[in-house]
Each structure stands twice: as C-alpha cells, then as structure tokens.
Amino acid sequence: MNQAIMWMMAAGAVAGGLDRLMGNRFGLGKKFEEGFLLLGTTALSMAGIICLAPLLSSGLKMAVVPLWRSLGLDPAILGGILAIDMGGYQLATELAADADVGRYAGIIVAATFGCTVTFTIPVGMGMLEKKDRAGFAKGILIGAGCLPVGLLVGGILCSLAPGVIVLQSLPVLLTAGLLMAGIWKFPDKMLRGFSVFAALIRVLTTVGLVLGAVAYMTGWKAIAQMESIENAMEVVSSIGIVMLGSLPVAELLQRLLKKPLAWIGRKTGMNSSSIAGLLMGTVSVVPAIAMMKNMDARGKVVNAAFAVCAASAMAAHMGFTFGAEPDLVVPLLAAKFTGGIAGAAAALLLTK
C-alpha cells in the first residue's frame, strides 16, 4: 500500500513536471512549482526545532521523564504535543522507552493533536475575524472530542494493543479535554495563551536554525548535543520531494470530485466554499482557514472539526512520514482521515 501511494505521488510529479514544460496548460505545473517553493517555509518552521530536539529531549529526561515513568507512561507521548513537522517526531523517538510507542507518538499523535495545538489553533485564531472565531472554536471542540477515533485507528495500525493506546494516550486526551473547556469558557484568554505558545516555538525554531547554520559554516557547536542542520534539511527535502507530486494529485482529485462534492454540499446544506475547504484542508490547513470568511455557519464548524485530525494529510505530513517512517504512511492517513471524517460527521449532527 505504501508503495502504491508513492507511485501515485510519482505520477503526480511527472504530470506536474510535464505540464510545467508545456507552459502550465492544465494548471498542474503551477501546483508542481508550489510544492517545491514550500521548501523554504517548511524549513523555516521545522529545521531549527529538529536541531534542538536532542537538547529538548535531555531537558525533559531530567525534569519530567522520571515522574512520567513512575505513572507507568512512556515519555514518548510528550513529543506528541509538537506537530510532526515541528520536531514532534524527533522528540518522541528521543524520549521513547518503547520504540513502537515512540513511532506512534511521533507520527500519529504529533500529526493530529500536536498539529492542532501548535499550528491549527494559533494560526486559525490569529487569521480569522472575530465573527468567524466562534464557529472555528466550536469545530475545534467537536474535532478534539473525536480525536480518540483517529488515535485508536492509527495506534492499532502501528501494531499497538488497544489497552496500550488508551493508557499511553491518556495525557493527550486529558489535555484535549482541558483545551476544549478553555476554548468554550475563555476563548479570548485561550487565544492569548496560544499566541504566547506560538511565539515560544518561533523563538526556539529561530535559535536552533541560527546555531545549526553557525555549526555548519564554522564547525563550532554551541551545544554539543545539537542535531546537524544537514540532517534537519534532509528531512525537509524529503517532504518537498513528495509535495512535488502530492499537490498536483490533490488538484486532480478536486477536479474529479467536483460533481460528487457539489452533491454532498446540497445534501449537507453547506455552500461551495465549505466543501472546497474540506479538500483544501487535506493539502494545507492555511488556505482552508483563509476560505472560512466565505463559508456558511455550518461549513465553518465542519471544516474546523475535520481539520483537527485531517489537516495537511496529503502534503506535509505524508511527505514527512515517507521520509522518516515510510511503513507508517498508511496508519498516518488512516488515523487522519478516520478522525477527520468522525469530526466532520459529529459537526454535521451538532449543527443545523
């Protein structure tokens, strides 16, 4: 299955490249270019954190890991609070007592819960106008409530027993519950808190990038445990390569599914922007959030609920997993889409 997906992405890269040579006649060449141009923003957001992952791991091992182990929990789950492409995977595997739990936390948890906490919520609450935030927040609440569906499916496909998944995911589920309560009761205070958290991540990323660049250019390492920037950029490059094909494939899927999606829109009572946002969100959650101003009230809630698990499934997250853990591409996609669909379905049931 992994190989079949990779061949599909390769076919997308060929189609996009050929269209670019023909002057972007079918619009696929533009998507091909976009995939490559995303290398810069991807590297800026994650390379520095990857460089600092060993240091963060050492700090957590001294400060938190002993307590975590005394509770019978694998410290790997601590890495899942960061997005998969913002150091979550590296941190989880560094901390893991059990390699399988480390892979589950670094890929499945980090691509759903971690992405929501460190990226989707702060970006969404920052980008959206005040009138759109209520629908977005409600959708995030519903999506977080359906997060266990994606985690359970992904964990089982990672060869973990259901009991192990539930036990190791308890901190994540508890944190998700607290976030739900906070967004519901204190949305403005939560926005400020997420803004501070996002700023902290930005500082760490920048510091790591600077230290990595200095070490590469001079040979002097300010921190002995630091990961080399060459290894960090290798991870980033693997994502960019997959996006060369995944963005043209996503564009083709949008065109092929135009009529079925229009039918779904009529049946669910959502406008075209709401339906398009669901597909766009599987490639990148940022344009989907930007489209929310044109969505109807129900569409905003459904899109936000879907994004908790499904955001960026077909681009950055799949690309990262192909480079880091190719055997977990299917578990990743299964977790993200089952959780996302469960969130969207729940949002439809809970809205008029």
**Candidate from 51-55, 206-210, 324-328 with smallest mean pLDDT:** 51-55
What is the C-alpha to C-alpha distance for residues 119 and 168, in angstroms, rounded to an integer? 23
Q: Is the pLDDT of residue 286 over 80?
A: no
Q: Is the pLDDT of residue 114 over 80?
A: yes
Q: Is the pLDDT of residue 185 over 90?
A: no
**pLDDT classification of 1: cutoffs 50, 70, 90:** low
- Most confident listed range (165-169, 194-198, 237-241, 313-317): 165-169
Residue 53, pLDDT score = 81
Q: What is the pTM of this model?
A: 0.80
Q: Is the pLDDT of residue 201 over 80?
A: no
